[in-house]
Amino acid sequence: MSGSDGTWFDDAAGPLVRPYAMTGGRTTSRQADLEIIALVVALGPVSRAQALALDDECLQILELVQQPASVAEISAGLRLPLSVTKILLGDLIDKKLVAFRSAVTPDIHVLQAVINGIRKL
């Protein structure tokens, strides 16, 4: 499983990189309000200097979010755990390369009125 140069390799999966290596050991994002259904979109083109400073996963995210995509879609597209994706997205948000918009959650009173209306039928 270990190559002659010390890298870990799985014949079926290719090179193995542990998720914590991608996040620098971080387990949480500074963007606490980044929900699984939040929509993320790139804020514009990335300069060459910015691109050189980004990891491959962050560049892949920027490709995926040229059109709005949910955090769940991005995670699936990257084939990475949701927690890792949220940390990487948080980094891109901090660098002002992407923006996100949380889903609007309906007011509990509106939901209760809908339920009550359905019960009356």
35 burial (CB, 10 Å; 0-12 / 13-18 / 19+) is middle
64 found inside a domain? yes
DSSP letter for 68, please.
-
Q: Where does the pLDDT of residue 106 fall: very low under 50, low under 70, confident under 90, or very high at 90 and above?
A: confident
Half-sphere exposure of residue 8: CA atoms within 13 angstroms, side-chain side: 4
10 found inside a domain? no
5 found inside a domain? no
Q: Between 56 and 30, whose confidence is greater? A: 56
9 found inside a domain? no
SS3 93: helix
What confidence score (pLDDT) does residue 13 get? 54
14 found inside a domain? no
Mean pLDDT of the chain: 82
3 found inside a domain? no
Residue 84: how many CB atoms within 10 A of its CB? 21
What confidence score (pLDDT) does residue 34 get? 85
> 106: domain CATH number?
1.10.10.10
Indicate the number of domains in the chain.
1
Domain range spanning residue 35? 20-120
What is the pTM assigned to this prediction? 0.68
Give me 86's structure tokens: 């949220």
Nearest CA among 28, 32, 98 for reference residue 59? 98
